[in-house]
Amino acid sequence: MSGRVRGQVSAVAPAKVNLCLGVGPVRADGFHPLATIYQAVGLQDRVTVGAADEVSVTVRGDARSAVHEVPTDGSNLAVQAALVLAKHHGLDRGVRIVIEKGIPVAGGMAGGSADAAATLVACDRLWRLGTSREKLLSLAAELGSDVPFALVGGTALGSGRGELVTPLTTRGRYWWVVLESAVGLSTPAVYREFDALHTGSALVEPQISSGVVSALRDDDVVALGAALTNELQPAALRLRPELEGVLELGRTEGVHGAIVSGSGPSCLFLCADRADAVRVGEGLRSRGLGPVSVAPGPVAGARVVAAREG
Ligand code: C5P
């Protein structure tokens, strides 16, 4: 029941890219150990929560986004986030959740995780719970491997299955072109393909790329572009071979780096600066391959942007 809670709260949370993504052999719990450097980029979802008797979720997006692929039942990560937070505080609360998608759906950019992170901070404010940052992070880790980073934002090391996040201080601002695919890729399917590709080979524990670390330290975009790595990329390319040509097209536009984002299929192109990213974005858009956006990174993690008392 809604009790005396009124009003509504909106929060935003960013998409992520992985500047390097090292993947180790599958663990007993079915997850893979990761060594990654996350960066939050300026594509964001906005989640608005309001008091209600029942839990409900509505997903909106512009015509280009595959909002119909987002579940609106209990498997929706934002719904799970609201329930996990309420349960932690011993509450039985309904909530109306409206998600406005700005992050590609099933695109390898942690859009569902962003919704969960935004819902955690929005419900925490709506219900005036004042949950500690530490507790929010541990609830986030229960929800999914990428959810803690969506809370933290910026640039950060990720370890464990991705849920252990250590913020990094970096000086640079980077400009990314994001090319979406009309059809998403399932993260578990990409990990299964990764396992199939490595059957019989001895996988070692994943490592952070020293090239990415030194490029960030020196704020050297050329070195960063050359050092970008994604050990899930071969698996994503096996499932979507046409992405190879998409990456190549980006390279012909003169970008510093071209890579599949996380488990894909979104493709990322690292550009020299904003003007260069706009140029590359227009070049790719003119080929009609899919929706193209330009996004800076790093940006902040999930945060409340509007709160209205009832
Ligand atoms: O943690 P999350 O719910 O986002 O993970 C979705 C799926 O992706 C997992 O069920 C698993 O199949 C795969 N995964 C993995 N190793 C990770 C993260 C995700 O195998 N480190």
CA 285/CA 16 separation, integer angstroms? 22
Kindly give the number of the ligand 1 atom that is closest to the alpha carbon of 110: 4
CA 78 to the chain's CA centroid: 14
Asked if residue 153 has its Cβ within 6 Å of ligand 1, the reply is no
pLDDT score for 271: 98
pLDDT score for 63: 62
Q: Specify whether 16 is catalytic.
A: yes
Kindly give the number of the ligand 1 atom that is closest to the alpha carbon of 32: 16
Kindly give the number of the ligand 1 atom that is closest to the alpha carbon of 160: 21
Name the residue ranges covered by the structural domains of the chain.
7-169+299-309, 174-297
Asked if residue 112 has its Cβ within 6 Å of ligand 1, the reply is no
Q: Specify whether 146 is catalytic.
A: yes
- In the chain, DSSP assigns E strands to 8-23, 34-52, 55-60, 94-100, 155-159, 164-168, 174-179, 229-230, 257-260, 267-271, 292-297, 303-308
pLDDT score for 69: 86
Tell me the CA–centroid distance for residue 30 and ligand 1, in Å. Answer: 8
Kindly give the number of the ligand 1 atom that is closest to the alpha carbon of 146: 4
Tell me the CA–centroid distance for residue 31 and ligand 1, in Å. Answer: 6
pTM of the model: 0.96
**Candidate list 16, 101, 115, 276, residue with the active-site label:** 16
**Candidate list 45, 115, 124, 146, residue with the active-site label:** 146
Number of H helices, E strands in the chain: 10, 12
Q: What b/e string do you get for 158-187 counting C-beta neighbours within 10 Å, with b at 16 or more?
A: bbebbbbbeebebeeebbbbbbbbeebbeb
Asked if residue 88 has its Cβ within 6 Å of ligand 1, the reply is no
Q: Which residues contact 272 (CB under 8 A, 6 or more apart)?
A: 175, 221, 256
Asked if residue 32 has its Cβ within 6 Å of ligand 1, the reply is yes
CATH code linked to domain 7-169+299-309: 3.30.230.10
pLDDT score for 4: 62
CATH code linked to domain 174-297: 3.30.70.890
Nearest CA to ligand 1 atom 19: 31
In a structure prediction context, what are the per-residue pLDDT tens digits for the chain, which is 310 residues long?
Answer: 445 668 999 999 999 999 999 999 999 999 999 999 999 999 999 999 999 999 999 999 976 667 888 999 999 999 999 999 999 999 999 999 999 999 999 899 999 999 999 999 999 999 999 999 999 999 999 999 999 999 999 999 999 999 999 999 999 999 999 999 988 999 999 999 999 999 988 888 999 999 999 999 999 999 999 999 999 999 999 999 999 999 999 999 999 999 999 999 999 999 999 999 999 999 999 999 999 999 999 999 999 999 997 7
Tokens of 132: 């500690």
Bridge partners, residue 96, by sequence: 50, 56
CA 106/CA 110 separation, integer angstroms? 8
Tell me the CA–centroid distance for residue 106 and ligand 1, in Å. Answer: 13
Tell me the CA–centroid distance for residue 8 and ligand 1, in Å. Answer: 32
Asked if residue 108 has its Cβ within 6 Å of ligand 1, the reply is no
CA 279/CA 271 separation, integer angstroms? 9
Whether the CB-CB separation of 81 and 11 falls below 8 Å is answered with no
